[in-house]
Structure 1
Amino acid sequence: MLELYNHPLRLYADPSRVVVRPFHIAWQRNGSAPSRTERLVGEVLAMTPAETRAQLETVLKDFEARHWQTRRVFMTRYDEIEAVLGLDGSTISDEKRQLIGAYFCHEYSYAAAALMNPSAVPHFDQSGMPEGSLRILMSLRAVGEGHISSVAFREGIITDENELVLAPEPPFATAADAVGDEDEAPEGEVTVYRHRDSTLSGTVIFPITQAQSKGLEDMRLVHFSHDDGTAEWLGTYTAYNGSMIQSELLRTRDFRAFDLVPMTGSAARNKGMGLFPRKVNGQYMMIGRQDGENLFLIKSDTLTHWDEGELLLKPVYPWELVQIGNCGPPIEIDQGWLLLTHGVGAMRKYAIGAVLLDKDDPSKVIGRTREPILAAANEDREGYVPNVVYSCGALRHGDRIFIPYGVADSSVAFAFVTIEALLAAM
């Protein structure tokens, strides 16, 4: 039987985790009439100093103790509005500017319903790490009001002794935001920025475009090495607008600015695409599930356009007969490409398995686990979606694989397994 170490730490949904989000009205002008943004700003500018002070004091009484640097957040939001409307801030009092900023923010409980489906990559900062330790960065799918999914982050450290310590989560979270037209929602590629004073563990990326309006789902992060020796963190995720999905790509080199890029091509119509961490034989490669049932190897000359691929894996064993998918990007090991998979069996019970692909030709399957390496234990079966274990990305650390995974779409658990044990199970 496969020896796997389940770490005792768990992460759960938490309705007390609230964030101040920018409130984008996204309302078109009606002919020559002022926009809603202009009208709101005009209403505040027309207030007397006493009225302004009274309204601001009410807002601060309600929210200042619940959020980090609330006044500064309001001023930052005002600066964005000023830039859009071309206001002369030198003629506007600090109190009016803060109140204007408050009207263009709102509070949101981003993980009230669920926290699930993590992926893990090496952190961009490995300074001060002792031998045997690795600083990591995780993305998580947080589900809040309206069942809208966003991307949250957690930082931590793992060791070669199956230890895991997460960095303290700051008491206040902030939302990454785009800069641009306040009266029209952006479309296509958009860049969002982490607040200059926010830690990454306190940053949340929310839907920005209409295509993303109902959620950013199941990001699969990968530390990607380019041919020129530079590195970039890439994340494939599903954008959902309530009726349609499309695959998109997050790109960042510093985790300060995040490009959210829609992908094109026939393969991008599906969810769950896992990107190889480097080119193979001169091409970018993905693992995807184009037909909702089987896994395909997809190749491309660009990172953002993906057409049809070749069939790689079909469901074979009872625990995966309904459908299979990837559990994140392939992991490069000495013996080839290690791909974690999820399978769906009877009663739609999810389980996680593993596959080994040839390093030079990933279309060749070298080995495959006959039994799952992870399945929901009896005490873990209940939740938002019962009988589910699901990961969006594991990572290699020395001779073992660290696997963060979602349980019942309600919590996040962590496991370690040696590469030797995984290969022996194939």
Structure 2
Amino acid sequence: MTQHAPAILQSAPFIRRYPGNPVLDATKVPYPTALVFNAGVTKFNGKYVMIFRNDYGSLVDQTLEPHHTTDLGIAYSDDGLSWTAGPKPVFKMHDEEIIRAYDPRLTVIGDRCYMCFAVDTHHGIRGGIAVTDDLEHFEVLSLSTPDLRNMVLFPELIGGKYVRLERPFTVYSRGGRDRFDAWISESPDLAHWGNSSLLLAVEQVPFANDKVGPAAPPVRTDKGWLTTFHAVDVDPARGKHGWEDTWKKRYTAGIMLLDLEDPRKVIGMSRQPLLAPETDYEIAGGFRNYVIFPGGMILEDDGEVKIYYGSADTVECLATAHVDDLLRLCLEPEQR
């Protein structure tokens, strides 16, 4: 039986979109890209750092180059608001088997910066992990078996193990259609992963009927690991909402709180979206409208939480909230 998501979804009332959105788009990148989105964002070596996805093509003609042209660019900021893109892309994977790497997520563990990313190959989608010390040279540590995507690392070892969230593609066992869930795994060395278990199923999220999965890497708070997730609902009645002939999906951002010592335990979860597509740059004029996908979350010393998200699969945006409001939303989900 198909789960039905509400026709109208709204963002949490306390969430604030940055007035200068988008914080990064193709016009702010010094080389001819088209779609700039789904970035990983963190603080590293005293600066805000963003590694973003580049899809090449023409915004005017609404056309894209072949997938193998996709790469990752970098941008820096002193305040997390105004960003300067680097002069050239910093990461690309392409050979006779690998088509492209995309959708980066950044996590600092100790004094090193780790990047999770998706890898399209001719034999499935793999999840990758790389490490860098200078944001110029990347060492790929592992590539998963297909199909796995949307991996994010926790920013510290838990019980002596690295821990990641992930979203497998369980198409065959779920009736040959999208019905994807968020899982959690651990590793002693970032290369060998196991002890996997289901963390959040799509049927547990009232505003999703298609899939859920990780979004930004979790952030430690006194109450638990503050964790965003993406939630997707499909409405067959939706028609053309972007460049493609049809786009029937809507992506929203949810939020939950995981136990500090055992992040397999969900302490609380908002029953409504944290962020839902509402503004012009989220619902009109993009490659795929009605898409919000967080990829970075930073907790500042004053309690402000910066949430960076891809919008309409076209640009990168920022929303903010106070950590206390986010925790309250998870622990008191009916109090919006």
TM, length-normalised to structure 1: 0.62
Q: CA offsets, 1:334-388, max 9 Å, x none?
A: 1111111110123321100111001011111111011111111152213111211
Matched residue, 2:61: none
What secondary structure sits across from 1:425 in the alignment?
A: helix
What secondary structure sits across from 1:392 in the alignment?
A: strand
Letter of the aligned partner of 1:218 in structure 2? D
Matched residue, 1:402: 306
Higher helix share: 1
Higher-Rg structure is 1
2:323 aligns with one of 419, 422, 425: 419
**Distance (Å, rounded) in 2 between the aligned partners of 1:232 and 1:424:** 32
Q: What are structure 1's unaligned runs of at least 5 residues?
A: 19-108, 127-134, 175-202, 226-230
User: What root-mean-square deviation, in Å, do the aligned CA atoms of Structure 1 and Structure 2 show?
Assistant: 2.1
Tell me by how many angstroms 1:409 deviates.
0.4
- Mapping for residues 377-392 of structure 1, pairs under 5 Å: 377-379=278-280, 380-382=282-284, 383-392=286-295
**Distance (Å, rounded) in 1 between the aligned partners of 2:288 and 2:37:** 11
Q: Does structure 1 retain, via aligned residues, the 8 Å contact 2:185–2:195? A: yes
Q: What are structure 2's unaligned runs of at least 5 residues?
A: 1-11, 57-64, 171-178, 236-248, 331-336
**Distance (Å, rounded) in 1 between the aligned partners of 2:108 and 2:30:** 28
**Distance (Å, rounded) in 2 between the aligned partners of 1:425 and 1:246:** 33
2:210 aligns with one of 322, 327, 346: 322
What secondary structure sits across from 1:158 in the alignment?
A: coil
1:309 aligns with one of 196, 199, 215: 196
What secondary structure sits across from 2:102 in the alignment?
A: strand
Q: CA offsets, 1:281-338, max 9 Å, x none?
A: 1111111112361111111222022236111111223312211011122111111111
What secondary structure sits across from 1:318 in the alignment?
A: coil
**Distance (Å, rounded) in 2 between the aligned partners of 1:300 and 1:219:** 20
Matched residue, 1:293: 180
Determine whether 1:216 maps to 2:101.
yes
Tell me by how many angstroms 1:152 deviates.
0.7
Matched residue, 1:165: 82
- Mapping for residues 15-414 of structure 1, pairs under 5 Å: 17-18=30-31, 109=32, 111-112=33-34, 114-124=35-45, 126=46, 135-144=47-56, 145-147=65-67, 148-158=69-79, 164-167=81-84, 169=85, 173-174=87-88, 203-212=89-98, 214-225=99-110, 231-264=111-144, 269-290=147-168, 291=170, 293-307=180-194, 309-315=196-202, 316-347=204-235, 348-379=249-280, 380-382=282-284, 383-398=286-301, 399-414=303-318
What secondary structure sits across from 2:157 in the alignment?
A: coil
Q: Which has the higher contact order (CA 8 A, sep 6+)?
A: 2
Change in Cα spacing, 1:15 to 1:373, as seen in structure 2 (3 Å) is closer
**Distance (Å, rounded) in 1 between the aligned partners of 2:308 and 2:40:** 7
What secondary structure sits across from 1:421 in the alignment?
A: helix
Letter of the aligned partner of 2:276 in structure 1? A
Letter of the aligned partner of 1:346 in structure 2? V
Change in Cα spacing, 1:301 to 1:269, as seen in structure 2 (3 Å) is farther
TM, length-normalised to structure 2: 0.78
1:2 aligns with one of 3, 13, 32: 13
Higher strand share: 2
Matched residue, 1:41: none
Matched residue, 1:45: none
Aligned length: 282
